[in-house]
Amino acid sequence: MKNRLEEIAEYADSHDFSADMEHGTWHPGGERDPDPMVSTSLRLPKSLLDWVRGEAEKSHVKHTALIRSWIEEKRTGSEDLAQRVKRLENAVFRHSA
């Protein structure tokens, strides 16, 4: 019994896509994102990455998106009020316990 991926691969191997592509348009050097996303590698201690992943899970986002949002907040100074209050509460109550 074939799985769905095998069925798609078999279809792609035997299908002529030229008719499907006939109505498409080609934009050589067309509209490009002025600030494209790029990949980078970041080395973190496992314990820190585990913590980041936990924070991301709480927010229902990927850990990479959370890291990017933290960096963007730092760059723009756009941390919202709720985040600032939470950060301050964590700092105050963590030390007073």
CA distances from 77 to 18, 35, 36, 73, 81 (A): 49, 19, 21, 5, 11
Looking at residue 51, its pLDDT comes to 96
**Which residues neighbour 66 within 8 Å (Cβ) at sequence distance 6 or greater?**
52, 55, 56, 59
Q: Is the C-alpha dihedral spanning 31, 35, 40, 45 positive or negative? A: negative
Which tens digits make up the pLDDT trace of 41-91?
999 999 999 999 999 999 899 999 999 999 988 888 776 777 778 888 888
Looking at residue 19, its pLDDT comes to 83
- Show me where the domains of the chain are located: 43-97
Cα separation, 47 vs 54, whole angstroms: 11
